[in-house]
Amino acid sequence: MKISRLQNFKYGELYCGPGGMSLGAKKAFVRKNGKRYRLIHAWANDIDEDSCKTFRNNICPNKPKLVYDLPVDEFLTDNILSKLGKIDAFGYGFPCNDFSIVGEHKGMHGSHGALYTYGVKVLDYFKPRFFIAENVGGISSANAGGAFKKICDDLEKAGKGYVLTKHKYKAEFYKVPQKRHRIIIVGIDQRYGLKFKVPAPLISEKDWITASEAIGDGTIPKNAPNNEEWPMSNNVKRRLQKIKPWENAWNATLPPDLRLNVKSAKLSQIYRKLHPDLPSYTLTASGGGGTHGYHYEEYRPLTNRERAKLQTFPNDYKFEGKNLSSVRKQIGMAVPPQLAKVIFVAVLKTFNGIDYPSVSSNLEKETLDLK
């Protein structure tokens, strides 16, 4: 199929959250023969009211009605879909609760496991030129690998058929100051005869952006939004005074009265401090006590603004929420805009015949072995 070159790819997104993937799409563009090729926002959907408010105010403040605050099954009805108009690109990071290492590992058998099928429905209905799907690294091993194979098979057969490229990205190699590892699937309509190549890392380990470079002194204005400190008990402060950078509540030397009496799984993130000379560990959306992420130098949890910076949101990106926990959840669930931008730029280059440094997929063989 001959490629008709689009300068503006109309982009729709499901499970949009606060707009991490869309911000990456908004910032992505390429130039060829004096022309600028980019993505423009068409519509977005999420069930979370606060996330939708954040998205509207930052991504499409002049077109707030293009963000639909609805359960996904109510959004994907013929009545609504028929009003949305054609899209050329589609993105979705389907809920990862049942695939995450901090979840219950239910995979396809969990309440969130089959939510990816709504993305398949979008592909069948709109048949966009390409799509990007994002999820946690644990998805590749859920249900002994069967869940990942099923998801890939369904995405491959959707629409008019898609050529998939699957890869587990390590965000710290793409200028994200966080060790966040995510599987991203890029699919291109097979009629175009194109296959997406995984963009090569932008930096090596010696050039990782560290926590202190991202959130250290002078990096965040005092009046930046979402920079309020979390309430903290005196015992938590005392515990943090005893924990060194990169240590957690289990491997730090703590007096008896500050030790945790926990018989269940001892997650390494519990009261774990960041290290000033390393990227942050993976920031989570929610969790009980001790899971907020903790400053490497000051005896306190990270503010939501610091968490957002570690996710590569700019300082002026204001998150809307009923409380601090709502904002924390939005930030933790988001796709880092910087990582999303790298992938969108590579897709635009693919469609415009512009070469770029690439590496082999680290998941192709794994998927083939399951067939």
Catalytic residues: 96
Q: d(Cα 270, Cα 153) in Å, to the nearest integer?
A: 37
CA angle 20, 295, 206 (to 5 degrees): 70
Helices (H), the chain: 20-27, 49-59, 72-75, 78-84, 116-126, 146-157, 211-215, 234-242, 304-310, 324-333, 337-351, 364-369
CA distances from residue 155 to 116, 124, 127, 257 in whole angstroms, order as listed: 9, 10, 11, 52
Q: Which residues contact 60 (CB under 8 A, 6 or more apart)?
A: 41, 44, 66, 67
Q: d(Cα 13, Cα 32) in Å, to the nearest integer?
A: 26
- The alpha carbon of 178 is separated from its chain's Cα centroid by a whole number of angstroms, namely 12
Residues forming beta bridges with residue 40, ordered by sequence position: 10
Read off φ and ψ for residue 169, nearest 5 degrees. -90, 140
The size of the chain, in residues, is 371
Q: Which among 98, 81, 92, 148 has a CA at the least distance from the CA of 120?
A: 92
Number of Cβ within 10 Å of residue 174's Cβ equals 21
* Lookup result for tokens 């389907």: 94
The first and second tokens of residue 77, run together, are: 């009805």
- The alpha carbon of 4 is separated from its chain's Cα centroid by a whole number of angstroms, namely 30
- DSSP per-residue codes, 143-191: GGGHHHHHHHHHHHHSTT-EEEEEEEEEGGGGT-SB--EEEEEEEEEGG
